[in-house]
C-alpha cells in the first residue's frame, strides 16, 4: 500500500506538465490550420493575406458598434458553408464592396450590423443560401478626428468615431483649465454651417449642456475667461479671472487682491480701460464711497486695469515707523550684546 501511494504522489505532479504539453500541441495545430486557411484565402482575395494574418483589434472603443462604414475600411467576411464568401474586402471610394456572385453592394454610412443584414438578404433573394449565416467584422478603419483647442488641459486632435456630447469631448482633452471662460464654440466640419456657441461653465446646469453634440471633424474651442488686473497699493497685485458668470466688479477685484495696503490712497482709484476703437481712458473711481455704499459699484470688463495709488502722507508715516522700529530693534540687540 505504501508503494502504491508513493507512486501516485510521483505521478500526480507530472499530469499538469503532460496536459500543458498537449494543450500547446493543440494550440500549435490550430495555428497551423489557421495559417493554412489564411494562405488559401489570400489566393482568392488580394487583401486577405495582410488582414487575416493579423490578430485583429487589440482595444475596441466603447462606441465602436455605432461606427459607420466609410471608404477605406477593410472588412472581413465569412459565410458559413460557402467558401466563396470568405475573405477581406476593401470599401472603395464610392462606398461599395465587390462580392463574388452578389456583385457590388453599397455599405458606406451603414454599421457593421446593417451591412451584415444586407448581405444576408441578398443571399436569400438570390436563392444562393436558404439560411445564410453571415459574419462581418472590421479589420481596418479610419477614424475622423475632432480638434480641441483653447483653454483645455491637452489641446490637440482626438479620434471621434461617432457624434458625442460636448462634456465627453472636453474630457478627451483633460477638461478645461482654470482660465477657461464660460463660452465654448463648436465649428462644424461643413464649411457652410454656422458655428454654435455654447454657454459652458462649472456652474452651468448639466442638463443645459447635454443638447450640445460634437460631430466627427468638428473643431471645439474653449474661449479664455476675461482677466482683470489689479496693481498698485494692494497686498496681492496681479491678474484675476472673472467669475463663472463672466462678471466682476471693483470691490470683488480688490478683495481678490487681498485688500489695500496701509499706505494706499483709497479715496480715489484709477480704472484704465481700452475701448473697442483702441483708445484708452482713465476713469477715476471714489473707492471709499463705494466701500460704504454711498456710490454704486462698477462692473469691470476683460483686460481692465485697476490701480490703487499710494498716499504720500501715509507712505511717509509708514517709512518713519519703519525707521523707529529698526532703531528700537538695534537698541535692544546692542543692549543684549554689550
Residue found by looking up cell 460557402 in the block? 82
Q: Residue 255's pLDDT is what? A: 93
Q: Based on the domain organization, do 238 and 298 belong to the same domain?
A: yes
pLDDT band at 218 (very low <50, low <70, confident <90, very high): very high
Mean pLDDT of 146-163: 92
Q: Residue 50's pLDDT is what? A: 45
- Please identify, among 156, 189, 224, the residue that sits at the C-terminal boundary of a domain: 224
Q: What is the tens place of the pLDDT at every residue in 293-333? A: 999 999 998 889 999 998 876 655 554 455 444 444 443 33
For residue 257, the domain's CATH number is: 3.10.560.10
Q: Residue 153's pLDDT is what? A: 95
Mean pLDDT of the chain: 76
Distance separating alpha carbons of residues 119 and 31, to the nearest angstrom: 29
DSSP SS3 for 267: coil
Mean pLDDT of 203-209: 62
Task: Assess if residue 35 is contained within a domain.
Answer: no
Host domain of residue 110: 48-140
Q: Based on the domain organization, do 54 and 122 belong to the same domain?
A: yes
Q: Residue 174's pLDDT is what? A: 94
Task: Using a cut of 0.75, tell me whether the model's pTM lies above it.
Answer: no
Q: Based on the domain organization, do 129 and 165 belong to the same domain?
A: no
Contact between residue 263 and residue 281 where contact means Cβ atoms under 8 Å apart: no
Distance separating alpha carbons of residues 207 and 199, to the nearest angstrom: 12
Q: Based on the domain organization, do 101 and 177 belong to the same domain?
A: no
Q: How many CB atoms lie within 10 A of CB 115?
A: 24
| Alpha helix ranges (H) inside the chain | 2-11, 14-44, 48-51, 112-125, 166-172, 206-209, 250-256, 287-291, 312-337
Q: What is the tens place of the pLDDT at every residue in 165-201? A: 898 999 999 998 888 888 899 999 887 788 988 887 6
Query: What is the total count of domains within the chain?
Result: 3
Q: Based on the domain organization, do 173 and 129 belong to the same domain?
A: no
Amino acid at each position: 500500500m505504501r508503494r502504491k501511494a508513493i507512486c501516485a504522489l510521483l505521478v500526480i505532479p507530472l499530469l499538469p506538465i503532460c496536459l500543458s504539453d498537449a494543450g500547446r500541441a493543440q494550440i500549435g495545430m490550430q495555428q497551423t490550420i489557421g495559417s493554412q486557411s489564411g494562405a488559401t484565402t489570400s489566393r482568392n482575395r488580394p487583401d486577405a493575406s495582410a488582414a487575416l494574418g493579423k490578430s485583429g483589434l487589440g482595444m475596441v472603443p466603447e462606441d465602436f458598434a455605432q461606427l459607420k462604414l466609410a471608404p477605406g475600411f477593410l472588412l472581413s467576411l465569412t459565410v458559413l458553408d460557402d467558401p466563396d464568401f470568405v475573405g477581406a474586402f476593401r470599401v472603395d471610394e464610392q462606398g461599395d464592396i465587390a462580392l463574388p456572385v452578389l456583385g457590388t453592394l453599397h455599405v458606406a454610412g451603414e454599421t457593421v450590423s446593417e451591412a451584415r443584414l444586407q448581405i444576408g438578404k441578398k443571399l436569400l433573394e438570390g436563392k444562393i443560401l436558404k439560411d445564410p449565416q453571415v459574419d462581418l467584422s472590421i479589420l481596418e478603419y479610419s477614424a475622423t478626428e475632432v480638434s480641441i483647442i483653447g483653454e483645455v488641459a491637452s489641446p490637440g486632435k482626438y479620434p471621434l468615431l461617432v457624434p458625442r456630447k460636448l462634456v465627453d469631448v472636453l474630457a478627451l482633452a483633460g477638461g478645461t483649465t482654470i482660465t477657461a471662460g464660460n463660452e465654448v464654440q463648436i465649428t462644424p466640419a461643413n464649411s457652410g454651417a454656422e458655428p454654435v456657441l455654447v454657454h459652458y461653465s462649472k456652474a452651468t446646469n448639466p442638463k443645459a449642456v447635454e443638447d450640445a453634440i460634437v460631430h466627427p471633424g468638428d473643431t471645439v474651442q474653449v474661449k479664455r475667461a476675461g482677466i482683470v488686473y489689479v496693481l498698485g497699493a494692494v497686498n496681492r497685485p496681479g491678474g484675476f479671472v472673472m467669475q463663472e458668470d463672466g462678471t466682476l466688479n471693483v470691490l470683488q477685484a480688490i478683495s481678490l487682491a487681498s485688500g489695500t495696503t496701509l499706505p494706499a490712497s483709497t479715496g480715489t482709484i484709477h480704472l484704465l480701460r481700452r475701448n473697442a476703437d483702441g483708445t484708452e481712458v482713465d476713469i477715476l473711481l471714489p473707492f471709499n464711497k463705494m466701500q460704504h455704499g454711498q456710490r454704486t459699484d462698477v462692473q469691470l470688463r476683460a483686460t481692465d486695469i485697476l490701480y490703487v495709488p499710494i498716499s504720500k502722507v501715509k507712505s511717509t508715516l509708514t517709512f518713519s515707523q519703519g525707521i523707529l522700529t529698526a532703531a528700537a530693534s538695534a537698541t535692544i540687540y546692542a543692549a543684549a550684546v554689550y
